[in-house]
Structure 1
Amino acid sequence: MIITCPACDTRYTLADSAVGPQGRKVRCAQCGHMWWQSPQDEAAFPPDAVTEFHPVPPPPGKTSSSKKTAPAKAPADLRARRRALVGWGSFLAVLLVIGAAGYLGRATVVRLWPPAALFYETVGLPVEPPGSGLQLQNVRSEQKTEDGKAALLVEGQIVNVSETMRTVPALRVTALGADRQPLRNWTVEPVPPQILPGEIATFRDVQADAAGVLEVMITFDGGR
Structure 2
Amino acid sequence: MIITCPACDTRYTLADSAVGPQGRKVRCAQCGHMWWQSPQDDSVFHPDEVTEFHPVPPPSSKTPSSKKKAPAKSAAAAGARRRALVGWGAFVAVLVVIGAAGYFGRATVVRLWPPAALFYETVGLPVEPPGSGLQLQNVRSEQKAEDGKTALLVEGQILNVSETARMVPTLRVTALGADRQPLRNWTVEPVPPQILPGEIATFRDVQADAAGVQEVMITFDGGR
User: How would you bin the TM-score normalised by the shorter chain?
Assistant: 0.5 to 0.7
* Deviation, structure 1 residue 75: 2.4
* Deviation, structure 1 residue 90: 1.4
- Aligned-pair identity in percent equals 88
Alignment partners' CA distance in 2, 1:126 and 1:117: 7
Specify the SS of the correspondent of 1:153: strand
Aligned 1:1-224 pairs, distance under 5 A: 75-224=75-224
Specify the SS of the correspondent of 1:198: coil
Look up the equivalent residue of 2:119 and give its one-letter code: F
Alignment partners' CA distance in 1, 2:88 and 2:181: 55
**Total equivalences in the alignment:** 155
Q: Where do 5+ consecutive residues of structure 1 fail to align?
A: 1-60, 62-71
Alignment partners' CA distance in 1, 2:187 and 2:155: 12
* Deviation, structure 1 residue 93: 1.0
Alignment partners' CA distance in 2, 1:146 and 1:101: 46
> What is the alpha-carbon root mean square deviation over aligned residues?
1.6
Structure with larger Rg? 2
Look up the equivalent residue of 2:149 and give its one-letter code: K
| TM-score of the two chains, using structure 2 as the length reference | 0.66
